[in-house]
Amino acid sequence: MDKLWMYLQIPFVQRALIVSVLIAFCSALLGVTLVLKRYSYIGDGLSHVAFGAMSVAAVIGLTNEMWLILPVTVLCAVLLLRAGQNTKIKGDALIAMVSVGALAFGYLLMNVFSVSSNLSGDVCTTLFGSTSILTLSEGEVRLCVILSILVFVSFLFFYNKMFCVTFDEEFSRAVGMKVDLYHLLIAIMIAVIIVLAMNLVGSLLISALVIFPALSSMRLFKSFRSVTLFAAAFSVFCAVAGILISLLFGTPVGSTIVTVDTFGFLVCFLIDKISGGIRK
């Protein structure tokens, strides 16, 4: 379509596509591990923490908010992933507490200290990511590229170790692997991706980026490697499709991406059911 071609020429659309491909790719990779460890909702929890940190940074008046958002989110990721190891219930409840508390606190701060002229707009954009992805500067794109490459390279390098730790933590410890180090690594990667992904789909919808590709992929594929690869491809496809659709039809970017993800999952679910679930 001509319109599509026109959009693809626009620099801010190109930037949005580059960034969303990278973010979708990385979150899908980590999503498989998270879903298997039953930490699906951690994306949500961490994004709310990031929102809270962002409010604090705005109130303090930091020019570059990343100085506060990234460390706080990384710290929370480490705490949440560690605490959940002993009892699953603890992990669940802790994520919920931190998530809701941070969101409320952040919104309260922004209200009380009125740092922005359009409070509900700000909050709405952060929660739903309406246009943040379309208004990225070159610097932000560069940061995203560098961080995504770092996450991807780490993931590749530690892939086999993370598989072993995710599949069986006890066994990994017994054979002398530094399980805590890998947990820390996963926590840091998650935190970085979450903070980046807030730009794409906003806080409330981040879980979708993490969960849907992994679940869709696990319906169809039998080995961990193929599950991971397909999850990444699925996520990238849905993100690109979502952005293009939202540009063409004037729909909100974040929700469109998540809706495409949902349809994709349904398609995979149906294929699985129809083919009887057995496929080489």
Partner 1 sequence: MMNRKKKTVFVSSVLTLLILFINTACEKRQGEMGAGHSASSQTGVESLLQSGLDSVEQEDFVTAPGYTSQTSALPSEDVIISFTTNEEGVEIDLTQLSSGAVYAVVYDMTIRPETYCGKSVKMHGAFATASDEEKGVRYFACIVQDATACCSQGIEFVPRNSSKYPEGFPDVGGECTVTGTFDVYTEGETSYITLRDATLSLD
Partner 2 sequence: MALLTIKDLVLGYESRSILAPLDFQVQNGDYLCIVGENGSGKSTLMRTLLHLQAPVSGEVIMGDGLRANEIGYLPQQTAVQRDFPASVAEVVLSGCQGRMGLRPFYGTKEKELAEKAMKQMHIMDLGRRCYRELSGGQQQRVLLARALCATRKLLLLDEPVSGLDPKVTAEMYDLIEELHKQELTVIMISHDIQAAIRYATHILHIGKEVLFATKEEYCESEIGKAFLGRGEQ
Which parts of this chain interact with partner 1 (CB under 8 A)?
Answer: 3, 6-7, 9-13, 15, 54, 58, 63-67, 69-71, 74-75, 78, 110, 115-118, 120-126, 128, 130-132, 134-135, 137-140, 142-143, 146-147, 150, 180-181, 184, 188, 192, 198-199, 246-253, 255
Residue 71 interacts, among partner 1, partner 2, none and using kind-specific CB cut-offs from 5 to 8 Å, with partner 1
Residue 163 interacts, among partner 1, partner 2, none and using kind-specific CB cut-offs from 5 to 8 Å, with partner 2
Residue 161 interacts, among partner 1, partner 2, none and using kind-specific CB cut-offs from 5 to 8 Å, with partner 2
Residue whose CB is less far from partner 1, 32 or 72: 72
Residue whose CB is less far from partner 1, 125 or 172: 125
Q: Comparing C-alpha atoms, which of 50, 20, 19, 18 is closest to residue 190?
A: 50
Which residues are near partner 2 by CB under 8 A?
A: 36-38, 156-161, 163-164, 167-168, 170-177, 218, 221-225, 227, 278, 280
Could you give the CA distance from residue 126 to residue 133 in angstroms, rounded to a whole number? 11
User: CB atoms < 10 A from the CB of 275, how many?
Assistant: 10
Angle at 94 between CA 129 and CA 217, to 5 degrees: 55
Looking only at Cα atoms, what is the longest distance across the chain? 60
Least distance from partner 1 to the Cβ atom of residue 278, Å:
42
Residue whose CB is less far from partner 2, 109 or 164: 164
Least distance from partner 2 to the Cβ atom of residue 154, Å:
10
> Do the Cβ atoms of 76 and 132 come closer than 8 Å?
no
Ranges of beta strands (E only) in 5-153 are none
Question: Could you give the 3-state DSSP secondary structure of residue 136?
Answer: coil
CA dihedral 205, 207, 212, 214 (to 10 degrees): 150
Residue whose CB is less far from partner 1, 63 or 86: 63
Residue whose CB is less far from partner 1, 91 or 106: 106
Residue 116 interacts, among partner 2, partner 1, none and using kind-specific CB cut-offs from 5 to 8 Å, with partner 1
Residue whose CB is less far from partner 2, 15 or 37: 37
Least distance from partner 1 to the Cβ atom of residue 120, Å:
6
Least distance from partner 2 to the Cβ atom of residue 227, Å:
5
Could you give the CA distance from residue 184 to residue 201 in angstroms, rounded to a whole number? 25
105 by Cβ neighbours in 10 Å (0-12 / 13-18 / 19+) ranks as: middle
Residue 108 interacts, among partner 2, partner 1, none and using kind-specific CB cut-offs from 5 to 8 Å, with none
Residue 128 interacts, among partner 1, partner 2, none and using kind-specific CB cut-offs from 5 to 8 Å, with partner 1
Cα distances (angstroms) measured from residue 268 to each of 90, 212, 220, 234, 235: 33, 10, 7, 10, 13
Amino acid at 130: S
